[in-house]
Amino acid sequence: MSAAVAPTPTYRRALLAPRRISAGLQHAYIWLWLVLFALPFVTTTLHSLRAPEGGLTLESYRYVFGSFKENLLLSVEVTVATIVLNLFIAIPAAYAIVRHPIPGKRFILSTLNLALYTPGAVMGISLAITYAFLFDIPRTFVGLLGAYVVGTYPLMLVPIIVALRDLPRVYEEAARTLGANRLTTFFRVELPLLGPGISAGILLTFVIVFNEFLVTLFIAGPNTTTAALRVYNLTRTGFLPSTAALAATMQFVSFIIVLVFFKTFGSRYLKGTYLI
């Protein structure tokens, strides 16, 4: 009955099997970069918390809401104004591009994106010249606004176009058969459904305008110094904890807003745009 039964061969994967080592190294590589991405922000924050006599303090943040308050307020104002204008420009334009036959669409699109491909310094010098010579708006809020709008509304266009293309036509058709005219259909059906795409556009505009300093450097004046430009100006004079505090605040606010967006809508609507 019990003939010699060969023992079942066993195999246990070694703890240091080449596959495991390779997988571990790959994850380590990703994490190395993740640390590098966050490192400048983290060290800036640490620097901002450093007290002159050693130890930690929030003292520097008094400047953020003290002498930098005006710059921050200006940044917020001009960012919000840019977002509002961008919405009025980008939503109709996206609608036209996706839903209407326009002769020379390709050419028009690349012209609209002109500012997107222009290096910041070139845009800065050209606007500085034009503002001084033609429009007579050097160093003004309007000047900043024009530069930001032209530079960012094409970025807002992208996610809205993507969302509009993804939106099935049946919703529009259903609304039409139910008696809604074009305008009603747009405001009651399409616009709400484009929400995530529009939010993505708002996010992109915010992140860029809020942190823009290069074009601003060319066209801003003493009364129109945005917070990001203030950071740049301050870095030229030294590395004070108060500068770090302002830079950290700017990044922190930007990051929170990105985070909220990711949590609400995911990153789908940002595919193919500036923010991944």
Residues 79-138 that bind another protein (CB under 8 A): 88-90, 92-93, 95-97, 99-102, 105-106, 108-115, 117-130, 132-134
Stretch that binds another protein, among 13-21, 56-64, 73-81, 237-245 (CB under 8 A): 237-245
| Tokens found for residue 40 | 């400048």
Map the footprint of another protein across residues 149-178, applying CB under 8 A.
149-150, 153, 157-158, 161-162, 168, 170-171, 173-178
Strand partners, 56: 50
Q: How far is the CB of 7 from another protein (least distance, A)?
A: 31
| Tokens found for residue 112 | 């609209």
Binding-residue total with another protein (CB under 8 A): 116
Nearer to another protein, 12 or 236 (CB): 236
Closest to 125 in 3D by CA, of 208, 35, 219:
219
Q: How far is the CB of 1 from another protein (least distance, A)?
A: 43
54 in contact with another protein (CB under 8 A) = no
Q: How far is the CB of 178 from another protein (least distance, A)?
A: 4
Map the footprint of another protein across residues 8-27, applying CB under 8 A.
23, 26-27
Q: How many residues does the chain have?
A: 276
Q: How far is the CB of 71 from another protein (least distance, A)?
A: 14
- The residues, any chain, with a CB within 8 Å of residue 232's CB and separated by 6 or more, are 213, 217
Burial environment of residue 137 by CB neighbours within 10 A (0 to 12, 13 to 18, 19 or more): middle
Q: Which residue has 């400048």 as its token pair?
A: 40
Cα–Cα dist 58/65, whole Å: 12
Closest to 179 in 3D by CA, of 188, 191, 168:
188
Cα–Cα dist 235/81, whole Å: 27
Nearer to another protein, 66 or 272 (CB): 272
Q: Given candidates 14, 17, 20, 43, which one binds another protein under the rule CB under 8 A?
A: 43
Cα Rg, the chain, nearest whole Å: 26
Map the footprint of another protein across residues 174-233, applying CB under 8 A.
174-181, 184-185, 188-189, 192-193, 195, 207, 211-214, 217-218, 228, 231-232
Q: How far is the CB of 79 from another protein (least distance, A)?
A: 13
